[in-house]
Every structure is written in structure tokens, then in C-alpha cells.
């Protein structure tokens, strides 16, 4: 780790208390001048650091994305994440795909302060604001056949929902299969892609991406989606940082992933606002209507059609057009 990174970690760990430059220099085995240069570099990046007193340096909470800030709140028993912070990205999904091609390790996490060309399911664009959202993708290497694969999209949805509710007073709902809603408006979209090895038939790589509207005022959304989208903090100042929420999401995700049961699927069902309602969907260019009966343990939606037959819908093959109570 660089001196800058080590200094930032020490300041965050010590906050809200002060730590002297001499103490940091001794702990890191560097000169006081190196500490001074690192602190000034951090200030230029936007970090809020009190200094100029005989007490030393004091880190003040800010919403600057940083690998150090994310690492600070990760559970100690998690797999080691390799975290890359980008000022901007056309698509963190594409960045993660490139990381996979370059042979970077599993659990590589790419986080961007904004996305210039964000896309969701079926290639639909979504609104992104610099500093106002969480745009990230993770690279996993399961090396499993398809039948052995975890239901990554549903696990991710539960993890995000539970992290939000752990840290805020917001109540989340899940629109099958990959969208999170608050008060009837979309706050998060999730996208998962798999890469397989033709010879072995195994899924070698999974990339999970997400865009979370964190702190975007309602009037800042484009007019055409103001009634459809919202953010966690759309009318008030954030009570948490993006770093804290990112850490909580991955704490929940890896905890669920390591469970030996499918209990998380019941939590997913309880958060669904689709189940028990009339839905209209298109499949193979034909429109159907029916009752959303349940979601099975493979994450498939079971719809009872009006003629008494059933349709089993898997992610990626349909788009819900209408939901009625």
C-alpha cells in the first residue's frame, strides 16, 4: 500500500479522535514530511481533515469513495476484495469484463463515482449522477456447471435490500427479478452476466453489476422518470456514506452466499411486490396475463394464467409490462 493509502486508513480508524503526524510516521516507518505530503494529497482529493493544531490530524466524515473507506467496514471473515475506485466509467460491467479477460482475481470490485453510459437489463439506459449514486460491479469466478450455480441476482437483491434497511429507515421491495423499489419508485437495478468455458461446460466467470440511486434530489431526475425513480436520500441529507453502504452490501452478500440453505429465498419472496398480483408479460412476442403465484428456489416466477395453465418465467426472457393489485 502507498503512504497515502496507509495514512488515510490510519486517519479513518482513529476518527473522530486526533492522531499526530509523529505517531503516524512511527507506525508507518516513514518521515514526517511523507505524512504531511500524504495529508495534503488527501485534502486535494476532497477528504476533510482537520490539521494545524498541536493535536495532529482529525478525519471528518465525507462521501468521498475510497477503497480504504470500504475496507474499513468490511467483515473480517469476508474473502479479500481487490477494490478499484474510478472517477468515471462508461460501464463498470465492461470494466469487470476486461478485468476477467486480463486474468484479474475473483472478488475484484470496481466502483465508479459516475457512469457515462450506464445500461441495465435489455440494454436500457438509466440515469446516473456524479457523486449521487453507487455504480459498481464485481468479478466472481465460481467454476461450476450451470446446475450448481447460486442464484446470484436474487442473492444480490436480498443483500442490497437488507443493507439498506440495516443502515437507514427505508423499507425496500423487490420487483422480480432484479429491481429494488422504495415507496413505489425504483431505487436500484441489478445486472448479472455469466461467461462459460466451451470445452468444460463450466461457468468460469460471473459479473454482477448494480446502479443504486443514493443521494439524488427528486427534481434532479429527468422529467420523464421523476414519477418512476427515486433515491435513498431524495429529500434529505444522507445519514450514511456510500462507503458504508457498499461495505454493508458485500457483508450481506457473502454471508448469504456462504449459507448452506435457501432461507434467503423466503426473504426474497417476502419482499416481492409482484407475488399475489395480476401481471401482464410478453414472452416470445405473445402477451399473457395471469396471477403471480410464487417464486421457486431457482428464482423463477410461476404465473397461473387465466386458462388454468402455468407459465414458468426465468430471468432475462420476459419483461413485466403491468402489475395490478
pTM beyond 0.75: the answer is yes
Round to whole Å and give the CA distance between 96 and 23. 38
Domain co-membership, 117 together with 145: yes
Last residue of a domain, one of 271, 301, 316: 271
pLDDT at 13: 93
Whether residue 154 sits in one domain with residue 124: yes
Q: Answer yes or no: are the C-beta atoms of 209 and 191 closer than 8 Å.
A: yes
Q: Are residues 216 and 159 in the same domain?
A: yes
pLDDT digits (tens, 9 = 90+) for 232-251: 999 999 999 999 999 999 99
SS3 per residue for 135-170: EEEEEECCCECHHHCCCHHHHHHHHHHHHHHHHCCC
Task: Tell whether 266 and 298 lie within a shared domain.
Answer: no
Structural domains in the chain (count): 3
Q: What is the CATH number of the domain that holds 294?
A: 2.30.30.100
User: For position 54, what pLDDT does the model report?
Assistant: 83
Q: How far is Cα 151 from Cα 298, in angstroms, rounded to an integer?
A: 7
Contact, 49 vs 18, CB < 8 A? no
Do 53 and 86 fall into the same domain? no
- Last residue of a domain, which of 24, 40, 60? 60
Q: Are residues 95 and 238 in the same domain?
A: yes
CATH of the domain at 11: 1.10.10.10
Residue 1: band (very low, low, confident or very high) from pLDDT cuts 50, 70, 90: confident
Residues 235 and 296 in one domain: no
pLDDT digits (tens, 9 = 90+) for 73-87: 999 999 999 999 999
Same domain, 171 and 85: yes
For 248, the domain range is 67-271
Percent of the chain scoring above 70 in pLDDT: 94
pLDDT, tens digit, for every residue of 7-54?
999 999 999 999 999 999 999 999 999 999 999 999 999 999 998 778
Among 127-131, 158-162, 314-318, which range has the highest average pLDDT? 158-162
pLDDT greater than 80 at residue 124: no
Q: Are 213 and 311 in contact (CB under 8 A)?
A: no
The pLDDT, as a whole number, for residue 185 is 94
> Residue 150's pLDDT is what?
77
Same-domain check for residues 282 and 265: no
Q: What is the mean pLDDT of the chain?
A: 91
135 neighbors 249 (Cβ within 8 angstroms): no
Q: Which of 36, 60, 84 is the last residue of a domain?
A: 60
Q: 285 and 136, same structural domain? A: no
Q: How many other CB atoms sit within 10 Å of the CB of residue 222?
A: 9
Amino acid at each position: 500500500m502507498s503512504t497515502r493509502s496507509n495514512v488515510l486508513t490510519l486517519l479513518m480508524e482513529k476518527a473522530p479522535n486526533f492522531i499526530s503526524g509523529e505517531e503516524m510516521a512511527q507506525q508507518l516507518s516513514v518521515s514526517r514530511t511523507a505524512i504531511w505530503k500524504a495529508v495534503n494529497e488527501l485534502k486535494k482529493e476532497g477528504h476533510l481533515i482537520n490539521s494545524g493544531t498541536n493535536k495532529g490530524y482529525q478525519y471528518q466524515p465525507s462521501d468521498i469513495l475510497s477503497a480504504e473507506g470500504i475496507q474499513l467496514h468490511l467483515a473480517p471473515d469476508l474473502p479479500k476484495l481487490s477494490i478499484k475506485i474510478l472517477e468515471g466509467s462508461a460501464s463498470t460491467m465492461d470494466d469487470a469484463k476486461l478485468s476477467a479477460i486480463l486474468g484479474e482475481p475473483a472478488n475484484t470490485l470496481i466502483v465508479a463515482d459516475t457512469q457515462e453510459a450506464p445500461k441495465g437489463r435489455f440494454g436500457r439506459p438509466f440515469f446516473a449522477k456524479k457523486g449521487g449514486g453507487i455504480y459498481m460491479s464485481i468479478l466472481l469466478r465460481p467454476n461450476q456447471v450451470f446446475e450448481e450455480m447460486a442464484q446470484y441476482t436474487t442473492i444480490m437483491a436480498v443483500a442490497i435490500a437488507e443493507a439498506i434497511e440495516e443502515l437507514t429507515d427505508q423499507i425496500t421491495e423487490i420487483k422480480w427479478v432484479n429491481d429494488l423499489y422504495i415507496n413505489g419508485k425504483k431505487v436500484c437495478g441489478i445486472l448479472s452476466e455469466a461467461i462459460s468455458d466451451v470445452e468444460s461446460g463450466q461457468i468460469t466467470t460471473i459479473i454482477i453489476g448494480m446502479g443504486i440511486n443514493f443521494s439524488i434530489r427528486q427534481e434532479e431526475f429527468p422529467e420523464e422518470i421523476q414519477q418512476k425513480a427515486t433515491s435513498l436520500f431524495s429529500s434529505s441529507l444522507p445519514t450514511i456514506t456510500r462507503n458504508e453502504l457498499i461495505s454493508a452490501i458485500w457483508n450481506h452478500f457473502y454471508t448469504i452466499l456462504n449459507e448452506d440453505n435457501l432461507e434467503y429465498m423466503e426473504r426474497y419472496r417476502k419482499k416481492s411486490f409482484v407475488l399475489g398480483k395480476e401481471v401482464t408479460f410478453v414472452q416470445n412476442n405473445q402477451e399473457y396475463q395471469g396471477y403471480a403465484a410464487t417464486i421457486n428456489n431457482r428464482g423463477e416466477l410461476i404465473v397461473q394464467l387465466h386458462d388454468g395453465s402455468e407459465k414458468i418465467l426465468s430471468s432475462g426472457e420476459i419483461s413485466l409490462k403491468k402489475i395490478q393489485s
